[in-house]
Structure 1
Amino acid sequence: MSVDTVGFRELAMAALLFIITQFFIRSLLSKHYRRLPPGPRGLPVVGALPHLGSMPHAVLAKMAKKYGPVMYLKMGTCGMAVASTPDAARAFLKVLDLNFSNRPPNAGATYLAYNAQDMVFADYGPRWKLLRKLSNLHMVGGKALEDWAQVRAVELGHMLQTMHELGSRGEPVVVPEMLCYAMANMIGQVILSRRVFETKGSESNEFKDMVVELMTTAGYFNIGDFIPSIAWMDLQGIERGMKQLHKKFDILLTKMIEEHRASASERKGKPDFLDVVMSHQENSGDEKLTMTNIKALLLNLFTAGTDTSSSIIEWALAEMLKNPTILKRVHNEMDGVIGRNRRLKESDIPKLPYLQAICKETFRKHPSTPLNLPRVSTEACQVNGYYIPKDTRLSVNIWAIGRDPDVWENPLDFIPERFLSGRNAKIDPRGNDFELIPFGAGRRICAGTRMGIVLVEYILGTLVHSFDWRLPDGVELNMDEAFGLALQKAVPLSAIVTPRLPPNMYAA
């Protein structure tokens, strides 16, 4: 064997050793820089899905105490990041907002929202921007809300009259049914120039049941969303229920649109929201709306517009029934500002800081959306030093943030006073203060944020100012939650109301 051959072998071995060393160094560096956030060890195939149970927001909040503010869960074949503190939410929804501006595909978007042709589930792009722009300009934005202030006052008058009649007979008011009926008519007046339900009865109750079913089923963690290869089996029966519910809503929406077209001559020169939206079917711009887009948008507005605000008002009333001193204090505030010879006006609200504090405290403790609607990463990114892969689903636990003891003193107690002084007095629920984000934050914040705050403050304030409230004899207050896209009371609030104002204040 020649010296040259031995030297070549030594050189080759050295080169091979160098390559192997580099491989291991890069592997270690890759693992260091691509370290996933901590999280629970899931089961084979299904991952952490079975761990979430029927109250995922509460389970995830408990997990966060163990694993930290940013967690990573393997959910079937998908990865899911969960943010559970204000700083973690800010990192995802502000710093990385654009990267998390889309929704992941899911059964709710497919079978309820016309295959994501709506505003809530649509991809971030031209169609979403057009739907959002139209909604802001003509329904949920500041100027639009001012334009239909009288509609809110009239419909609230109808609700007060019905409640006054029930109270005079000693019959209880079922709060969520009453609120859903009134809000659906408010929205109907703006969208269709007419009340959706002329009288409260079986039709309006069915609509309420449909809305609750939609918000509940759309909030389920559906196995098929996380393991697409077995989605066709519909193991939980969720997709079957969604398809049946979609048919009911489609019939209702089709009827609304057909009746609206038939009455076009009555609105000459006074177009309503649906007229404006339908005019964009012939839009000469780059983006046109189909009838499917229009139906999907109406579905968003009628369901989210009625259920989320009504659940907040119901929770607020329940907390005041549980804490009578709070009800007494807000009554005293209102009597001093408004008196008892007229109804509350929206212009009174800025002069009622304790009422506003009650609303904020309810947003904190009982957010209408406990887990924000899921988002998905367009590209891989880093958060808090952790690697977040592309196509990772994001869930922000708004419920956990509102109950974080590092942010809120005595977070399980309902204390409106916390918002009257100190740093909390400046906190606003419109998405810039991440300690309180009941409507989400960033570019996919709920389009109806401004409308939701107005409805909650005005309707809750009017109900509190107009009546004394108590539970029916022998009834105990149940404060259990029922999980869904909107956080419902497990047992609907039923209460006896007694008028506080002159009889003529309850006329429609």
Structure 2
Amino acid sequence: MFAVVCTVLALALLYCWTKASCNNRRLPPGPSGLPVIGSMHHLVLKRPIFRWIHRLLKEMNTDILCLRFGAVHVIVVASPEAAIDVLRKNDAVFASRPITFAAGSFSFGYKCSSLSPYGDQWKKMRRVLTSEILSTSMERMLQCRRAEEADHLVRFHIINLRHVSRHFCGNMIRRLVFGKRHFEDPLLPSSSPPPDAAAGPEEVAHVCALFTLLSHLHSFSISDYIPAWIGLDLDGHRKVAKAVMETLNRLHDPIIEERIHEWSSLRRRGEKREARDFLDVLVSLQDSEGKPILSLDEIRAQSAEIMFATVDNPSNAVEWAFAEMMNKPEMMQHAIDELDTVVGKERLVQEHDIPRLNYLKACIREAFRLHPYHPFNPPHVAMEDTMVSGYYVPKGSHVLVSRVALGRNSDTWDAPLEFRPERHMTSNTTHVLLTEPDLRFITFSTGRRGCPGVSLGTSVTMMLFARLLQGFTWSKPPNVQTIDLKESTTNLALAEPLCFQVQPRLPVHLYGSI
């Protein structure tokens, strides 16, 4: 109780000071809020918060919104022009990230790239990620593993598409980071699952933990704005974060520690070997004196970050694209025809085919536009007072770019709520890309905090989509005339996972030889 009282008094003083400093400066429009706490009470009353925020944008007829949670201003931008102000013109000002309990927990104390505030640690890990992990040579070396994982997609006959898509992404990123699809069974320590085995309990727990992490990472927790109240765990996020990290540490740590021991032994013997996966790269990095560059926690944090950054957008985009296309058979047929023309039916589609699959890429672009997995980009923090779209943004503000509002903006898009892949293909289009340079919607973002894994993300998404389309003839379940496109009440995923009946459509040897 003492902590609560002290916090309220501190907030009251800060509120008075902030109000005085902002009196002569025009903040973006927003609800007036209550004295001291602002709109903090809505964090409890209006869940899911992202839907309440988008209702406010609509009701107030604005493309930029200001909310005050305690002493923190949260600025939401919802137009390409405002997004360009944040992510391009003022990129250096908004290059930091907020300090939150979830981000700190999931990053082992801000040891990875995407969640770290601006500073030396972020620069170090960003350099490791861009120059080592996501280098062109590493991408080429691991291409065969991505292809092998895609081969497993032609094994199914009845498909729960959400399960298949999420576990494809989970298997893929485990192969790239750890060099294997499966974790060892703790009950059978001397045995390993066959390489083509389906997801077992540990793999299911792993993917579930990654998606739970993502759902709580930037979720408007009360303690994000009043850190002194973390211990109260008023919204239960601390308990969830603890459970997630227990699962990830239990599964990741034995592999990481074994690999560190292996590379330490190699160093002592003066021996070297080629890095075979992302973990090898992280563990093997050394300075001019031959000492490891990264600590154990930095390796743990960066390994986890690569995983949770890879599983969500590809699986969600593919599920939504299939849902939309199953209701429009002409679109499905157009995509199949393109695959048959570019690739044929005598071999499986490969990564080198992707540049010529423009209609398939247009379908995924449209899924990214209309059905983002996350309602907002990860929050940016203003490192100094600045202006966005003519409005004052105080230092320390959290700035959110709305993926939903950008992609469904009627000023930018004709019939924005309709799924129309052809809108991304014009007579001048030679190559369709998944990136969006004009920020009319968000895929991989841009600027200092943009996703450095554009190439990897494109490959994972397109191979998942193309292999499923090429490998099977799809049909709706019995007694289902139309796929229900309703969103979940708590997030932007489909309310119900898609289940389809499928039949192989390629020569049998392409399935039997895998």
Q: Which bin holds the TM-score, normalised by the shorter protein?
A: 0.7 to 0.9
Preserved contact between residue 372 and residue 396 of structure 1 (Cα < 8 Å): yes
What is the distance in 2 between the residues matched to 1:230 and 1:181?
A: 36
Preserved contact between residue 321 and residue 364 of structure 2 (Cα < 8 Å): yes
The Cα offsets for residues 375-404 of structure 1, whole Å up to 9 and x where unpaired, read as 111111112221111101101001110000
Alignment partner of 2:379 out of 371, 374, 377:
374
The Cα offsets for residues 398-442 of structure 1, whole Å up to 9 and x where unpaired, read as 111000000000000000011111688888543532113222221
The answer to whether structure 1 residue 73 and structure 2 residue 67 are counterparts is: yes
Preserved contact between residue 173 and residue 497 of structure 1 (Cα < 8 Å): yes
Preserved contact between residue 37 and residue 69 of structure 2 (Cα < 8 Å): yes
The 1:96/1:427 distance shift into structure 2, 3 A limit, reads farther
The Cα offsets for residues 6-50 of structure 1, whole Å up to 9 and x where unpaired, read as xxxxxxxxxxxxxxxxxxxxx999845x11111122244543345
What is the distance in 2 between the residues matched to 1:57 and 1:260?
A: 41
What is the distance in 2 between the residues matched to 1:262 and 1:193?
A: 16
Preserved contact between residue 161 and residue 500 of structure 2 (Cα < 8 Å): yes
The answer to whether structure 1 residue 85 and structure 2 residue 84 are counterparts is: no
What is the distance in 2 between the residues matched to 1:270 and 1:142?
A: 16
* Residue type at the aligned position of 2:124: L
Match of residue 145 from structure 1 = 139
Q: Give % identity.
A: 31
The answer to whether structure 1 residue 477 and structure 2 residue 483 are counterparts is: yes
What is the distance in 2 between the residues matched to 1:203 and 1:358?
A: 33
* Residue type at the aligned position of 1:490: A
Preserved contact between residue 206 and residue 247 of structure 2 (Cα < 8 Å): no
| 1:330-479 superposed matches below 5 A | 330-421=335-426, 428-430=433-435, 432-475=437-480, 477-479=483-485
Match of residue 159 from structure 2 = 173
CA shift, 1:358, in A, is 0.5
Q: Which runs of 5+ in 1 are unaligned?
A: 1-26
The Cα offsets for residues 92-139 of structure 1, whole Å up to 9 and x where unpaired, read as 111111111110111211222212212121122333233223223344
| 1:165-314 superposed matches below 5 A | 167=157, 172-197=158-183, 198=195, 199-200=197-198, 201-261=200-260, 269-272=273-276, 273-280=278-285, 288-314=293-319
**3-state SS, counterpart of residue 98 of structure 1:** coil
CA shift, 1:344, in A, is 1.1
* Residue type at the aligned position of 2:372: P
> TM-score scaled to structure 1, two decimals?
0.85
Count of paired positions: 472
What is the distance in 2 between the residues matched to 1:50 and 1:412?
A: 32
What is the distance in 1 between the residues matched to 2:445 and 2:302?
A: 19
The 1:456/1:29 distance shift into structure 2, 3 A limit, reads closer
Moved more, 390-399 or 424-433: 424-433
CA shift, 1:248, in A, is 1.4
What is the distance in 1 between the residues matched to 2:448 and 2:489?
A: 25
The answer to whether structure 1 residue 35 and structure 2 residue 41 are counterparts is: no
**3-state SS, counterpart of residue 212 of structure 2:** helix
What is the distance in 2 between the residues matched to 1:286 and 1:71?
A: 49
Match of residue 22 from structure 1 = none
Preserved contact between residue 137 and residue 144 of structure 1 (Cα < 8 Å): no
**3-state SS, counterpart of residue 481 of structure 1:** coil
Preserved contact between residue 139 and residue 190 of structure 1 (Cα < 8 Å): no
**3-state SS, counterpart of residue 394 of structure 1:** strand
| 1:50-65 superposed matches below 5 A | 50-51=41-42, 53-65=46-58
> TM-score scaled to structure 2, two decimals?
0.84
CA shift, 1:456, in A, is 1.1
* Residue type at the aligned position of 2:485: M
The Cα offsets for residues 41-69 of structure 1, whole Å up to 9 and x where unpaired, read as 22445433454633434433332232522
Preserved contact between residue 320 and residue 371 of structure 2 (Cα < 8 Å): yes
